[in-house]
Amino acid sequence: MSHQIDPTLLPFFDPKGIAVIGASTAPAKLGFGVARNLAQSGYTGAIHFVNPRGGRLLGRPVYPDIAAVPDPVDLAMVIVPAPMVPDTLAGIGRRGIRAAVIASGGFRETGPEGAALEAECLRVAREHAIRLIGPNCVGLIDTHLPLDTTFLPPPGPTPGDIAFISHSGAICAAVIDWARGQGFGLSHLISLGNQIDVRETDTLAAVAADPHTRVITLYLEGISDGRRFVRAAREVTRDKPIIALKVGRYSGGRRAVASHTGALAGQESAYNAAFHRAGVIRANTSEELFDWARALAWCPLPAGPDVAVLTNAGGPGVTAADALEGHGLRLAELLPETQTALRAILPPDASVRNPVDMLAAATAGQYAQSLGILLDDPGVHSVMVVLPPPPMESAGGVARALIPIIFAAGKPVVVALMGERMIQEAVEYFRAARVPEYRFPERAASALAVLTERARKVSDAAGELPLRLPDTRPDEARRALDDWRAAGGAPGEFLPFEVVGDMLAAYDIPVPRALPAATAAEAVDLAWQVGFPVALKVASPDIVHKTEVGGVLLNLTGPDEVAAGFATVTANARAAAPAARLDGVHVQRMVTSGQEVIIGAVQDPQFGAVVMFGSGGVEVEGLRDVEFALAPLTRGDATGLLERTWAGRRLAGFRNLPPADRAAVLDMIRRLGQLAADFPELAEIELNPVRVLPDGEGAFAVDVRARLAPDWPPGGRGLSE
Amino acid sequence: MSHQIDPTLLPFFDPKGIAVIGASTAPAKLGFGVARNLAQSGYTGAIHFVNPRGGRLLGRPVYPDIAAVPDPVDLAMVIVPAPMVPDTLAGIGRRGIRAAVIASGGFRETGPEGAALEAECLRVAREHAIRLIGPNCVGLIDTHLPLDTTFLPPPGPTPGDIAFISHSGAICAAVIDWARGQGFGLSHLISLGNQIDVRETDTLAAVAADPHTRVITLYLEGISDGRRFVRAAREVTRDKPIIALKVGRYSGGRRAVASHTGALAGQESAYNAAFHRAGVIRANTSEELFDWARALAWCPLPAGPDVAVLTNAGGPGVTAADALEGHGLRLAELLPETQTALRAILPPDASVRNPVDMLAAATAGQYAQSLGILLDDPGVHSVMVVLPPPPMESAGGVARALIPIIFAAGKPVVVALMGERMIQEAVEYFRAARVPEYRFPERAASALAVLTERARKVSDAAGELPLRLPDTRPDEARRALDDWRAAGGAPGEFLPFEVVGDMLAAYDIPVPRALPAATAAEAVDLAWQVGFPVALKVASPDIVHKTEVGGVLLNLTGPDEVAAGFATVTANARAAAPAARLDGVHVQRMVTSGQEVIIGAVQDPQFGAVVMFGSGGVEVEGLRDVEFALAPLTRGDATGLLERTWAGRRLAGFRNLPPADRAAVLDMIRRLGQLAADFPELAEIELNPVRVLPDGEGAFAVDVRARLAPDWPPGGRGLSE
């Protein structure tokens, strides 16, 4: 698979020559660290040091000025004090270099003055068409090229197959050190710092294109351009897995929202929906990030969720079984012939049912033979070997016997080594052989679950892309909105019911007819027209939660009730909200039966339109039975929303509830998603409740609310896909 | 605090002399391992070896027979082949020894023959009044006495303050090895094996009484006598924390159940309720068990949930903040004077708001001073120090500077060391000083959360015990049940509505009056009597889910509707369940408004009566908004059920729902709990829905179902508290 790399970024990934500007002879200075690491990294291109003091460093001349540096040179490492960086960049530009990494700190992270300096750097870089990584970053490592432009104290990472791209420099230092200790290598390490130019999204394709990289891990504190990230990551994940640890979950302030969807659609929901769309696996902790990366880098993908557990004691087997089921995997049912084969080589008291317990005296040979037998069972999709300190054998001997079997297997095998010093030799063998090993069955189970998730994502990714639905008429919806604006409607306001109704109609989203009545007599006439029973809802641009002011009467079955009802709801509304403008009522045909769901959409500042689906009614926020997806949605996206919520699963029928019209709901979800994607100025739109009638009878949005963004149009920013 | 220790167990914990029966001179034999470990353990009592071959072993005589062993001897370690164990026990008994650990395997775990042998061991032991640990166990370790009766290859655990009691021997071996590697010691290790006599509950008091033990950790595959465990553990946790890893979560088969409560009350719900009542903290993974144990053993308890984070970089601070909030803790708001004090010692670009980021150049002195300043802030209840490999300092130097401050603090401080080899020196310092250190902020946050949970449990434990409620009249309920049995009612059957109604009335649980009518005319009469609107429900001992057969009509407002309704529900029931016995209908006053909740109870085989509370209606199993507590309940238990469910929180009012009668719900929960505790033959009882009216107006069980256990009374087994 080929990945499209922006050619202006190539000097970062395959530089012909590098100039270290600020290279220093003082060992305590970062400028010495960069020079030392680059010189020791084995980089085979040209290395040039620059410092006004001149002299020699590490056996090389130090040029007083970048202008003096000879060819080839196409990448500059800048490690000079922050105030000198703009001039340094100008010199780099004049020298004809078009890529620079600014390792120096002292910019935006220090306050307004630093931010101004940073802006000046960007201005100079743009003037000279220089691409920038940083400032305030650790730099770049490519262990295979090889190349190390960081100032971190050695040793650097060992060569490996996991790429790490990070918004935090401190995390880079920790990960390099931790990876060495945990016995896995890295292919690339990219520290992005303040990201004034090159961002996480820009680097994905180049890293993915490296054949040494088998998995990409990301440490993210946010994403700069959500939709572009989703597109780029989606391309990469068709080929190679991406795992992201996204932090800053809880730091987001509260936004002013008026709908349930708005209240529940925190930024994390949008990130989850975006990662889902992009095929990115989200890790919850730093340890998961690399536990999972090792499994994805080193194991084939399983064909299904059925796992065999091989161990030499009861307790570890039970622990493993629990952990597997807790992660949504299953204990494989072993075939009778598998059990017979195990029985033939194991002592009579051994358990040959899954988990397979060979008993404490199990030899290395029995471990290896049993593993082979389990891998031959077609109902076994993966194997977890659990190895407490074996009383009779050395754990290292067991590891040596297992490794050839694992190498030959087309199925994933992970190892849970229980203990520490007595299993250390086995740990070293497994690490050298790139067999994922974990200290306890729980973490091994989590790794197998991720392999299974990745296998599913790969097969899903072969599927459909969002397609425009037929019978969506954005022009017609646009007209309804424009007409209202022309009549004085303003950003930030709630849209009148009729306007939303017209917009929904333009997307063929069924809403029971609701007609405005200014007087009781008009209301009665309209009730005859739409058909009893009807609902009366107070009509006011200022009242959003109508039930809370007593502004809604339901199930009115005759003209007298309607006439009396008109007086009631208007009086209630006037009492509860004396300042609200009252335009009379809306008369609406009641859909009184059916399952209640909610379908809503909001605009996320990073990712654009996000659709929510779940249990409807007034308790949406209490039950939190909701899920999110980026709009527009494929049919698979919409089906996923139904599968992941009780409201969605219930549509198939439950107890005395008959199967409801799932197809109508799926259609409505996608149509609302298309509308939200087409109208980014719709800050929130929510159909709640939607009543879903029995199969074939449709689904109807009983109530609707929609609000325009207060700041629309935003400063020239577009959010279209 | 004194713990009551069963005197017959004292020889296991403070033996005067130990005989190793089956001591062997062959180094590959377990009988050699036991002799070696005991001799090397530093045990100061008498050590005697027994083997028919005689001779000498490790410089001591080997007696041919236990009868020949001189005083003092009060504990026997048995490591002979399984078939010889019963005779060996008889010899032990004749020698006057009243305590034995059977390390040998070959019993129940190998099949029926082994089980028979095990039963014979128990019989012999009872005959001679011998208490037994095992068989099929690893033995006992007390690092402070000291004593080591295991056969595991050395080294054993270092002396420490964490006790480990385990149902699995293999896990013991792994934990000893892992603890050494992770740098923490153990006080006791007890391997219980097949538990034919001494069980986990028996050992708790003795282990807790040891002043060296600060925390007790349990690896459980089940509990033998649930209520006794709860009582014993509750006594211990008033003084010392217990953390349990309970495995076998997913292995339980499906039981035949007829109610929502029965369907949702898996054994794990009962275990959770039991641990809650006992004050036991439940770990989810092996790593959590010991991550948490170290924090609980080594830290003071925090006065609240507000945490300060001290670090030298932005990324680690964000990661820590996320992890803290994810674990239900809060970032402390630092006082202005705290910020001023920090500002005075840190560089101007440092962040003195929480998380405190001292920047990469932070010195060991700045770490120490800043920690001191944070600990002085009264709004800071605990501190997490996050330490990536510091670029300028050695991590070891930072550790040395921090440790005295941590020692002097009356608040918990945990350390997240990020990396591996570069922070190793710091790791060693912190471990030696018993400061809990973790590799990433996520695990450190989880440890702080457990300290906070423990602090809350300690203050809760000072509270009330279940008290019998006034106005519960078990005799009256017993009479209703006995009358029905006398009239032919049988175990396993559903109780007729009238019988349940009488039992509930005896506990002052309000149920709308529901009266049986055999004919339509009777139904109309009764409707006038209870008051319209009424519900009609088909009366049949064979139909449980009445709505599913069309056997329920609601909201009938007049006599004609009732007469017609009688015909409808009986016809529907007959059509749907032709074999069902039909006794007419029940006529019941309708409570048509109020919030719907469910209150149910089941009998757990281990823990007796368990009460469930949550969102009611037909979707109980879909929403799973339910929580469980052991019955009978304190007021605090019942309040906890309300706080942990949406159904309970909603009772305080939500949107247009007015505040409902919480007091009535709390009362009903406790009354149903008392009923279920008083009537262990009630396999399931469920009030669903319960309609909760506005505050002061009460709560009513609209529908009720109850079933007697099919096997009641069980073989003489009592479940009373």
Write out pLDDT tens, residues B628-664.
999 999 988 999 999 999 999 999 988 777 899 999 9
Indicate which of B420, B446, B547 best probes the interface with A, i.e. most A CBs within 10 Å of its own CB.
B420
pLDDT at A258 over 70: no
Distances (CA, A) of B646 to A259, A637, B392, B579, B692: 19, 28, 51, 40, 14
Give the minimum alpha-carbon distance from B678 to chain A in angstroms, rounded to a whole number: 32
Distance (Å, rounded) from C-alpha A447 to C-alpha A459? Answer: 19
pLDDT band at residue A715 using 50, 70 and 90 as cut-offs? very low
**Greater model confidence, B109 or A378:** A378
Say which of B170, B421, B656 has its CB closest to residue A315.
Answer: B170
Q: With an 8 Å Cβ cutoff, are B313 and A169 in contact?
A: yes
Which residues of chain A make contact with B111, given a CB cutoff of 8 A? Answer: 349
pLDDT band at residue A463 using 50, 70 and 90 as cut-offs? low
Q: E-strand spans in B159-241?
A: 159-166, 186-191, 215-220
Q: With an 8 Å Cβ cutoff, are A171 and B388 in contact?
A: yes
Q: What is the interface pTM, i.e. ipTM, of the complex?
A: 0.87
Say which of A250, A323, A625 has its CB closest to residue B322.
Answer: A250
Which residues of chain B make contact with A249, given a CB cutoff of 8 A? Answer: 322, 325-326
Task: Render B363-386 in DSSP notation, one character per residue.
Answer: -HHHHHHHHHHHHH-TT--EEEEE
**pLDDT value at position B135?**
96
Say which of B181, B389, B623 has its CB closest to residue A646.
Answer: B623
Give the nearest chain B residue to A183 (CA atoms).
B420
Say which of A169, A247, A443 has its CB closest to residue B318.
Answer: A247
Say which of B318, B322, B623 has its CB closest to residue A625.
Answer: B623
The model's pLDDT over B359-368, given as tens digits with 9 standing for 90+, comes to 988 999 999 9
- Two tokens, residue A400: 């040596």
pLDDT at A332 over 90: yes
pLDDT band at residue A465 using 50, 70 and 90 as cut-offs? low
Q: With an 8 Å Cβ cutoff, are A250 and B326 in contact?
A: yes
Per-chain mean pLDDT for chain A: 91
pLDDT at A575 over 70: yes
Find the mean pLDDT for residues A467-474: 86
Give the minimum alpha-carbon distance from A287 to chain B in angstroms, rounded to a whole number: 8
Give the minimum alpha-carbon distance from A648 to chain B in angstroms, rounded to a whole number: 11
Q: With an 8 Å Cβ cutoff, are A318 and B247 in contact?
A: yes
User: Do B174 and A389 form a contact (C-beta atoms < 8 A)?
Assistant: yes
- Two tokens, residue B58: 């490790």
Per-chain mean pLDDT for chain B: 91
Distance (Å, rounded) from C-alpha A117 to C-alpha B1? Answer: 65
Say which of B173, B250, B420 has its CB closest to residue A182.
Answer: B420
The DSSP output letter for A541 is T
Q: Are domains B299-461 and B466-512+591-721 of this chain identical in fold?
A: no
Tell me which of A111-115, A668-672, B302-306 is least confident. A111-115
Query: Rounded to the nearest 5 degrees, what angle is found at the Cα of B625, between the Cα atoms of B623 and B628?
Result: 135
The model's pLDDT over B93-127, given as tens digits with 9 standing for 90+, comes to 999 999 999 999 999 988 899 999 999 999 999 99
**pLDDT value at position B462?**
64
Number of A to B CB contacts under 8 A, please give it: 231
**Per-range mean pLDDT, top range of A101-110, A538-547, A582-591:** A101-110
What fold characterizes domain A464-512+591-721?
A: D-amino Acid Aminotransferase; Chain A, domain 1 (3.30.470)
Which residues of chain B make contact with A174, given a CB cutoff of 8 A? Answer: 316, 388-389, 418-419
Find the mean pLDDT for residues B422-445: 94
Indicate which of A427, A619, A621, A642 best probes the interface with B, i.e. most B CBs within 10 Å of its own CB.
A619
Distances (CA, A) of A348 to A357, A392, B91, B109, B110: 11, 18, 31, 12, 8
Q: Candidates 3.40.630.10, 3.40.350.10, 3.40.50.1820, 3.30.1490.20; correct CATH number of B513-589?
A: 3.30.1490.20
Which residues of chain A make contact with B287, given a CB cutoff of 8 A? Answer: 439-440, 442-443
Find the mean pLDDT for residues A433-447: 95
**Greater model confidence, B554 or A612:** A612
What is the assigned CATH class of domain B466-512+591-721?
alpha beta
Which residues of chain A make contact with B538, given a CB cutoff of 8 A? Answer: none
Superfamily for domain range B299-461? Succinyl-CoA synthetase domains (3.40.50.261)
Q: With an 8 Å Cβ cutoff, are B251 and A422 in contact?
A: no
Give the minimum alpha-carbon distance from B335 to chain A in angstroms, rounded to a whole number: 20
Query: Rounded to the nearest 5 degrees, what angle is found at the Cα of A485, between the Cα atoms of A482 and A491?
Result: 115
User: Do A591 and A512 form a contact (C-beta atoms < 8 A)?
Assistant: yes
Domain boundaries, chain A: 7-213, 293-461, 464-512+591-721, 515-590
The model's pLDDT over A112-130, given as tens digits with 9 standing for 90+, comes to 999 999 999 999 999 999 9
Give the minimum alpha-carbon distance from B151 to chain A in angstroms, rounded to a whole number: 9
Q: For a pLDDT cut of 90, what percent of chain A falls above it?
A: 73
H/E run at residue A147 = strand A147-148
**Greater model confidence, A686 or A540:** A686
Find the mean pLDDT for residues B562-589: 90
**pLDDT value at position A237?**
95
**Greater model confidence, B282 or B493:** B282
- Two tokens, residue B288: 């959590």
Question: Please, is A592 exposed, middle or buried when counting C-beta atoms within 10 Å of its C-beta (0-12, 13-18, 19+)?
Answer: exposed
Which residues of chain B make contact with A105, given a CB cutoff of 8 A? Answer: 360
Give the minimum alpha-carbon distance from B69 to chain A in angstroms, rounded to a whole number: 30
Which residues of chain B make contact with A305, given a CB cutoff of 8 A? Answer: none
Say which of A170, A181, A441 has its CB closest to residue B388.
Answer: A170
Residues 6+ apart with CB under 8 A from B107: B82, B114, B115, B117, B118, B121, B135, B136, B194
Give the minimum alpha-carbon distance from A673 to chain B in angstroms, rounded to a whole number: 26
Give the nearest chain A residue to B595 (CA atoms).
A619
What fold characterizes domain A515-590?
A: Dna Ligase; domain 1 (3.30.1490)
Superfamily for domain range A7-213? NAD(P)-binding Rossmann-like Domain (3.40.50.720)
pLDDT band at residue A713 using 50, 70 and 90 as cut-offs? low
Residue with structure tokens 């969002």?
A466
Instruction: Provide the Cα torsion A572, A573, A575, A578; round to 10°.
Output: -170
Say which of B219, B321, B650 has its CB closest to residue A251.
Answer: B321
Nearest residue to B607 via CA among B224, B272, B266, B226: B226
Find the mean pLDDT for residues A616-631: 87
Give the minimum alpha-carbon distance from A637 to chain B in angstroms, rounded to a whole number: 22
The model's pLDDT over B24-65, given as tens digits with 9 standing for 90+, comes to 999 989 999 999 999 999 999 999 999 999 999 999 999 999
pLDDT at A548 over 80: no
Say which of A177, A251, A348 has its CB closest to residue B421.
Answer: A177
Other Cβ atoms within 10 Å of A433 Cβ, number: 16
Q: Which amino acid is at A449?
A: A
Find the mean pLDDT for residues B554-576: 90
Which residues of chain B make contact with A649, given a CB cutoff of 8 A? Answer: 622
What fold characterizes domain A293-461?
A: Rossmann fold (3.40.50)
pLDDT at B466 over 80: no
The DSSP output letter for B530 is H
Give the minimum alpha-carbon distance from A720 to chain B in angstroms, rounded to a whole number: 31
Say which of A105, A169, A388 has its CB closest to residue B173.
Answer: A388
Give the minimum alpha-carbon distance from B578 to chain A in angstroms, rounded to a whole number: 18
pLDDT at B520 over 70: yes
Q: With an 8 Å Cβ cutoff, are A248 and B654 in contact?
A: no
Distance (Å, rounded) from C-alpha A413 to C-alpha B643? Answer: 43
User: Do A695 and A607 form a contact (C-beta atoms < 8 A)?
Assistant: no
